[in-house]
Amino acid sequence: MANLVIERVIAAPPETVFAWLTEPTNLTAAPLAVRARWAAGTDGPGVGAVREVFAVGLWAREEIIAFDPPHRYDYRITKSIPAIDHQDGSVTLTPVDGGTHVRWVSEYTHPASGGGAVMEALTSRLLPGSFEAILDACTESLT
């Protein structure tokens, strides 16, 4: 199982950071992401909202399963190509001196049908940089 934890302090208030991170189009700051959007029938963030992420070699549908602005949202990948068994994804924001502490966690595995250990080794190297790039873009956009 891959367990990614990325943390960062962004010099902006939690409300602003939360709004930026919950906008799917901002996920395209990840190097291999080419498009991200709310799925058909989803008008915006909240419990039950579904976003789609299209990246080089990946398509994923993520459902928001908990939503507590501006503190936290949890999501789960419900469908993807290649297959991902996503146990947990969460973004937690905490006010700190000078801005907002962001903690982004994702736990997942790839079943054998989705490339198994080979895909897990690949994504566990690529995804941290993608999460970092998104947080870099958030920092650049808001500060």
Q: pLDDT digit string (tens) for 7-64?
A: 999 999 999 999 999 999 999 999 999 999 999 999 999 999 999 999 998 899 999 9
Residue type, 4: L
pLDDT at site 114: 66
CB atoms within 10 A of CB 57: 11
Please determine, for residue 118, whether its predicted confidence score (pLDDT) is greater than 90: no
In whole angstroms, what separates CA 73 from the centre of its chain? 10
Q: What one-character DSSP code corresponds to residue 138?
A: H
pTM of the complete model: 0.91
Architecture of the domain delimited by 2-142: 2-Layer Sandwich (3.30)
Q: pLDDT digit string (tens) for 48-88?
A: 999 999 999 889 999 999 999 999 999 999 999 988 889 88
pLDDT at site 6: 96
CB atoms within 10 A of CB 86: 19
- Helices 116-142 and 14-21: angle between axes, nearest 10 degrees: 130
Report domain extents, the chain.
2-142
CB atoms within 10 A of CB 23: 14
